[in-house]
Amino acid sequence: MNESVLLFSVITTLLYAVGTVGFLIYVIRTEKVIHRIAYGFLLAGFVSHTLGLAMLVSQLRQMPVTTLPQTFSLFAWAIVGSYLAFQLKFNIRILGTFVSPLAVVFMLLSSAIPGRVIPNSQLFKSFWLTLHVATMFIGMAIFALAFCAGIMYLLQERQIKSKSFGLLYRRLPSLEVLDSLNYVCLTFGFPLITIGLISGFVYAGAVWQSFWHWDPKEILSVVTWLIYAVLLHERLAVGWRGRRAAIMAIIGFSVILVTFVGTSVILEVHHSFKLG
């Protein structure tokens, strides 16, 4: 059983990697066929990923977040899933070029880091934890898309402002589309991480009899939430947009990365997926 989970993870990583290469080729040779093939590989990767995760869940009988590799893999899955969903709506072909490398990086991280298998713990069997994990991961994945949109915006804006047009000028969509992608990601992602944080606190309160532990991960999570709260507020109140919104989305996701990856790997805290 464990071996087939591993096999699925290898196949998934390979499919994502081939898709990424396809998306990179697409930058140089803008042909629909290449995009379709790359998209197909990513989709196939997602299907294989979903199967692998389903198998893992049926084995663990809980959310697949018991080890660090599992969480990275789940995050990659959430990123690809939200990308596939957003792509249906926005149809920005070049978006895959920016998103797919992220998925590959997280899959590789997932296989590079040794994960200790933890004995089946009652701690993971809670409605609040399931809600916390689901909303957090999807919310963060959507913010990963906003991060990509932010980078694309800055690249495109710099070309238009400086009047020097490179290879990407034609490939990248208009500033308007990139900015609205940023906004849509924010309106979906923000409620999700808000629910995620609240359910996390409720869960912590239930398990450790205290909502707040001054744990770095908790602090950084609240900082992340504040960043996106400010961005959303300023967008709605004074019409922040474009460059500033793009930079905020990039900063926000960077803090997420530090929170999610940094503290998990470096710090010994109760939130670090090394639960004892």
Q: What's the chain's Rg over C-alpha atoms?
A: 19
| Least separation in angstroms between CB 165 and another protein | 7
Q: Is 157 or 215 the residue whose CB approaches another protein more closely?
A: 157
Q: Is residue 169 part of the contact set for another protein (CB under 8 A)?
A: yes
Name which of residues 173 to 202 contact another protein (CB under 8 A): 173-177
Residue 103: how many other CB atoms lie within 10 Å: 31
Name which of residues 220 to 259 contact another protein (CB under 8 A): 238-244
- Select from 165, 206, 266, 267 the one that contacts another protein (CB under 8 A): 165
Q: Is 179 or 218 the residue whose CB approaches another protein more closely?
A: 179
- Select from 135, 156, 199, 221 the one that contacts another protein (CB under 8 A): 156
Q: Is residue 29 part of the contact set for another protein (CB under 8 A)?
A: no
Among the candidate windows 34-42, 95-103, 167-175, 189-197, which touches another protein by CB under 8 A? 167-175
| Least separation in angstroms between CB 156 and another protein | 7
Q: Is 89 or 161 the residue whose CB approaches another protein more closely?
A: 161
Q: Is residue 150 part of the contact set for another protein (CB under 8 A)?
A: no
CA–CA gap between residue 39 and residue 188 (Å, rounded): 23
What residues have CB less than 8 Å from 11, skipping those under 6 apart?
45, 48, 52
Amino acid 154 reads L
3-state secondary structure of 26: helix
Q: What share of the chain is helix, strand, coil (3-state, %, to 5)?
A: 80, 0, 20
CA–CA gap between residue 273 and residue 121 (Å, rounded): 12
Nearest Cα to 57, choosing from 40, 70, 48? 70
CA–CA gap between residue 98 and residue 94 (Å, rounded): 7
Residue 54: how many other CB atoms lie within 10 Å: 12
Total interface residues for another protein by CB under 8 A: 19
Token digits of residue 15:
């499919």
**How far is the CA of 185 from the CAs of 60, 132, 142, in angstroms?**
32, 19, 6
Q: Is 175 or 261 the residue whose CB approaches another protein more closely?
A: 175
- Select from 6, 28, 57, 160 the one that contacts another protein (CB under 8 A): 160
Q: Is 112 or 238 the residue whose CB approaches another protein more closely?
A: 238
- Select from 29, 61, 89, 161 the one that contacts another protein (CB under 8 A): 161
Q: Is 70 or 156 the residue whose CB approaches another protein more closely?
A: 156
| Least separation in angstroms between CB 243 and another protein | 5
CA–CA gap between residue 99 and residue 249 (Å, rounded): 15
Residues that bind another protein (CB under 8 A): 156, 160-161, 163, 165, 169-170, 173-177, 238-244
